[in-house]
Structure 1
Amino acid sequence: MVHLFAEGRPRVAPGGTRRGQLREKGALMDAEIGSRVRELRLWRGLNMRTAADLSGISHGYLGQIERGEKPVNNRQVLEALANAFRVAPSELTRKPDITATSSESHDAAAVLADLLGGWWVGEVPAAPGRPLPEVLADLAAFHASRNKSGKHGAGNYPTQVAKLAPLIRDLLAAAADPATSRQALAPLLTAYHVAGSVAARLRAPGLPSMAAERMQQVANELDDPVWQSVAGWGRAHFISSSNRLRQYELAAAVADTAPPERMETRGMANLTAALAAAAQGQNDVAETHLREATAIAEQIEPDVSPWPSGIMQFGRTNAGIFRVSIGVELGEGPRIAELASAVHPETISSGRQASFWTDLGRGLLESRQHRDEGVAAILKAEKLAPQQVHDNWFVRQAVGAHLGQTRQDSTGRELRGLAWRMGLATTG
């Protein structure tokens, strides 16, 4: 059960004109994306009215965004604008990487690009050729660490890549050996999925889709409908914001056709389809898939299924987390606290817990009366997965929008400290 409370040591901010400076910082963030929206609109040769019609938002709202008077704080608006200008959403949110591990993240993305692009299934990279049982034991330990339900998981993304890359090389070698191929292929598919997930977190264009291609290659070698469906879901999952319509089509197809003996795939495909529908403003469709996923989750004994190792985490907990996330996308605001009250996030990995607290915090921040609870939720997410939270565009928007509204109390100090750690304020 969820309990909201503020955690962490307050960072005391200097007085004077600080609040005004923070208000200006939040306004600057809005102005930056507003300027980018206007730049892309003019580049496409669109007037304000046409751009508003194409994006499905009002002419007045678009004007407020361009003038920096309103933030872009949900997927639906961000992706609608990107679609109107025929660019990737990242073109609207691009910013210098200000994380403390920016050079390490760049190096990690380069390792993944070399690994995913350099070898196909059946090809053998230079690998030490370790015994397969040893490799599988190390992969199982990696998955367990990454999916650990505490804050001490597999580490940040560069650390995960450093652990994962040699495992994929070893599994490729084993998959090319007729004596070990059948044992190595399914674990290799799960390792490729993790590679795609980390690449997406590192904002490495093209690499998640390349990981999905490798998953499909493995599934083809296995020639098993169960793993074919897992690969199909992985493809839909990694399309994400680049094409929500196609993501929905692919996920819905898997939800309809995945073999019933592994209901986890059908469940996750329904959750992916629900998020894709919500991002397009299709509330009823999203709700239909959420209900289907929830019903499937009730048929699975654990709150979080251990199958397949390390990549889905389907069950009642994840279905509840998706419901909260989609509630935020659909603008349900503080009502998501009711949805969150039935979720037991402590039963799932630290990364998924962080996603839960992040989205809950964003939703609560929409209401002045729930600001303290919203800040507390985001701080919980930060403790669990700091890099994941600091790099989240929507969290950055939410924190920036509230900087100028903070009071000189403990919550205000916590929010300013968070802003400082995210690079949104010059001091904590």
Structure 2
Amino acid sequence: MSDSTRFDGQSDELRRFGARVREIRKWRDLSVRTTADLAGLSYGFVAKVERGEKPVNNRQTLEALALALRVDPGEFTGVPEKAGRATVDSYDAANTLGDLLSGWWVGEVPDAPGRPLPEVLSGLMEFHASRNRSGKSGAGDYPTQVAKLAPLIRDLLAIAADPVVGRQALAPLLTAYHVAGSISARLRVPSMPSMAAERMKQVADLLDDQVWQSVAAWGRAHFISSTDRPRQYALAVSAADAAPPDRLETRGMSNLTAALAAAAQGKGDLAETHLSEAAALAERIEPDVSPWPAGIMQFGRTNAGIFHVSIGVELGYGPRVAEIAATVRPETISAARASAFWTDFGRGLMESRKHRDAGVDALLRAESLAPSQVYRNQFVRAAVSHALPTAHRDATGRNLRGLAWRMGLAPTG
């Protein structure tokens, strides 16, 4: 045995991904060459992906393959859960959200318990706080979050129909709908995030307030399907332009969404332009993370920096993202966003074997904050699977194999 240990099951994740690409390609009756041409990729790269020899480690490549084969990117990336219970709970959560978003429109009154507004608002604030805590029952625990969120939305819908206090329930309801869209996007439920965006717009129209209408416009851009990045970019730019000048948070987040949409299309210069605009806006906000609006945007210097790291990885900066990461204070933001920072930072470092130890350490920090969020990340799964064949018999190798096991990649040998 050499100083690196190989596992019979180490490439299962890459083989599974490649087999799904090949299956869809054949179903579409396309050759590897044609698929590569349509995706703007090399023939050799696509062939290696199908054989499980190459990871797909950025959004641009993943979405290019999906566009060439005319499927949603999620068709390639079904994440096997280690525990059957987790799968059932996730499906139940998705169904609960679907019933809630499609079953009740703003203005209709569900059969809610009828709790008073102060109690519901207090419950919503506690919900926002709990979903952003670290650990297994906090950030990334979507079934638990849905179980808490659904009754809050029902209560807010009932209160919104009250002629006396109804208007006070609308803005909190809009933020609750955004969380519903965010969770459904994480659970990869098609069409549901866009349905949440429609509910946000309904609430904003009732408020008849440009501030909240611009938040709803950003939500629409934020939740648009990744299969149409050009449209996402256009909507994000429009939301930034329409946001009131005194609400820097909406303009800032819209620019960050535009930057991500540009980067996913390989338009690095355009992405950097929007990142710079967002960073300039963040400097005009006193805290590193703005508390407005409660629980959804978290705009400020920290989030702008996290987006910069993520987009840097997308654009192929690799270990150079360390220069950007050094300016970010992830401890000032929610566990979910801090985990996203360490996830992308770790992915960037792991692109170089020289920096792999630091990359694995970063992924472990991300896991400690939001384990489920890390386990579901397609790009982390690809990076870990790709690194396993050369995992040494040292502390980093043990940590990498342990992470792979917890992710359900289950190395053997």
Q: TM-score, normalised by structure 1?
A: 0.92
Is 2:401 the counterpart of 1:412? no
Q: Which residue in 2 is equivalent to 1:134?
A: 119
**Alpha-carbon deviations, 1:229-258, whole Å to 9, x = none?**
100111111114232121111111111221
- Aligned partner (choices 46, 53, 74) of residue 37 of structure 2: 53
What is the rounded CA distance, in whole Å, between the counterparts of 2:230 and 2:140 in structure 1? 33
- Aligned partner (choices 283, 290, 303) of residue 305 of structure 1: 290
What is the rounded CA distance, in whole Å, between the counterparts of 1:41 and 1:156 in structure 2? 34
Is 2:285 the counterpart of 1:293? no
RMSD: 2.0
Within a 5 Å distance, the mapping from 1:215-226 to structure 2 comes to 215-226=200-211
What is the rounded CA distance, in whole Å, between the counterparts of 1:283 and 1:154 in structure 2? 30
State the secondary structure of the residue aligned to 1:303: coil
Show structure 1 runs of 5+ residues with no match: 1-14
State the secondary structure of the residue aligned to 2:76: helix
What is the rounded CA distance, in whole Å, between the counterparts of 2:136 and 2:91 in structure 1? 24
Is 2:20 the counterpart of 1:36? yes
Q: Which residue in 2 is equivalent to 1:91?
A: 75
What is the rounded CA distance, in whole Å, between the counterparts of 1:412 and 1:37 in structure 2? 29
**Alpha-carbon deviations, 1:29-56, whole Å to 9, x = none?**
2222222222222222323332212111
Query: Aligned in 2, Cα 1:75/1:146: closer, same or farther, shift over 3 Å?
Result: same
Q: Which residue in 2 is equivalent to 1:343?
A: 328
Q: Which residue in 2 is equivalent to 1:26?
A: 10
Report if aligned partners of 1:149, 1:347 keep a CA contact under 8 Å in 2.
no
Report if aligned partners of 2:10, 2:412 keep a CA contact under 8 Å in 1.
no
State the secondary structure of the residue aligned to 2:9: helix
State the secondary structure of the residue aligned to 1:101: helix
User: Which of 93-102 and 389-398 deviates more?
Assistant: 93-102
**Alpha-carbon deviations, 1:160-197, whole Å to 9, x = none?**
11111111011000111111121000000000111111
Report if aligned partners of 1:105, 1:202 keep a CA contact under 8 Å in 2.
yes
Show structure 2 runs of 5+ residues with no match: none
Is 2:331 the counterpart of 1:354? no
Q: Which residue in 2 is equivalent to 1:66?
A: 50
User: Which of 240-249 and 327-336 deviates more?
Assistant: 240-249
What is the rounded CA distance, in whole Å, between the counterparts of 1:147 and 1:92 in structure 2? 29
Is 2:198 the counterpart of 1:213? yes
Is 2:261 the counterpart of 1:269? no
**Alpha-carbon deviations, 1:340-375, whole Å to 9, x = none?**
000000000000000000000011000011000000
- Aligned partner (choices 392, 406, 412) of residue 421 of structure 1: 406
Is 2:142 the counterpart of 1:157? yes
Report if aligned partners of 1:142, 1:154 keep a CA contact under 8 Å in 2.
no
What is the rounded CA distance, in whole Å, between the counterparts of 1:149 and 1:43 in structure 2? 42
Report if aligned partners of 1:150, 1:349 keep a CA contact under 8 Å in 2.
no
What is the rounded CA distance, in whole Å, between the counterparts of 2:135 and 2:74 in structure 1? 31
What is the rounded CA distance, in whole Å, between the counterparts of 1:342 and 1:154 in structure 2? 24
Q: Which residue in 2 is equivalent to 1:375?
A: 360
Q: Which residue in 2 is equivalent to 1:7?
A: none
Q: Which residue in 2 is equivalent to 1:9?
A: none
Cα offset, 1:153, TM superposition: 4.0
Cα offset, 1:126, TM superposition: 0.7
Cα offset, 1:265, TM superposition: 0.3
Query: Aligned in 2, Cα 1:302/1:17: closer, same or farther, shift over 3 Å?
Result: closer
Cα offset, 1:397, TM superposition: 0.7
User: Which of 62-71 and 383-392 deviates more?
Assistant: 62-71
What is the rounded CA distance, in whole Å, between the counterparts of 1:368 and 1:254 in structure 2? 41
Q: Which amino acid aligns with 1:207?
A: M
What is the rounded CA distance, in whole Å, between the counterparts of 1:369 and 1:53 in structure 2? 33
Report if aligned partners of 1:258, 1:265 keep a CA contact under 8 Å in 2.
yes
Cα offset, 1:25, TM superposition: 2.5
Cα offset, 1:289, TM superposition: 0.5
Cα offset, 1:140, TM superposition: 1.4
Cα offset, 1:391, TM superposition: 0.9
User: Which of 197-206 and 323-332 deviates more?
Assistant: 197-206
What is the rounded CA distance, in whole Å, between the counterparts of 2:393 and 2:319 in structure 1? 23
What is the rounded CA distance, in whole Å, between the counterparts of 1:45 and 1:251 in structure 2? 36
Q: Which amino acid aligns with 1:195?
A: A
**Alpha-carbon deviations, 1:400-425, whole Å to 9, x = none?**
11111100111111110111111101
Cα offset, 1:288, TM superposition: 0.7
Report if aligned partners of 2:6, 2:390 keep a CA contact under 8 Å in 1.
no
User: Which of 303-312 and 235-244 deviates more?
Assistant: 235-244
**Alpha-carbon deviations, 1:247-275, whole Å to 9, x = none?**
11111111122111111001000000100
Q: Which residue in 2 is equivalent to 1:11?
A: none
What is the rounded CA distance, in whole Å, between the counterparts of 1:138 and 1:64 in structure 2? 51
State the secondary structure of the residue aligned to 2:5: helix
User: Which of 314-323 and 217-226 deviates more?
Assistant: 217-226
User: Which of 116-125 and 58-67 deviates more?
Assistant: 58-67
What is the rounded CA distance, in whole Å, between the counterparts of 1:393 and 1:284 in structure 2? 26
Report if aligned partners of 2:9, 2:412 keep a CA contact under 8 Å in 1.
no
**Alpha-carbon deviations, 1:190-213, whole Å to 9, x = none?**
001111111111222222111111
Q: Which residue in 2 is equivalent to 1:193?
A: 178
State the secondary structure of the residue aligned to 1:205: coil
Cα offset, 1:335, TM superposition: 0.2
Q: Which amino acid aligns with 1:54?
A: L
State the secondary structure of the residue aligned to 2:276: helix
Query: Aligned in 2, Cα 1:25/1:18: closer, same or farther, shift over 3 Å?
Result: farther
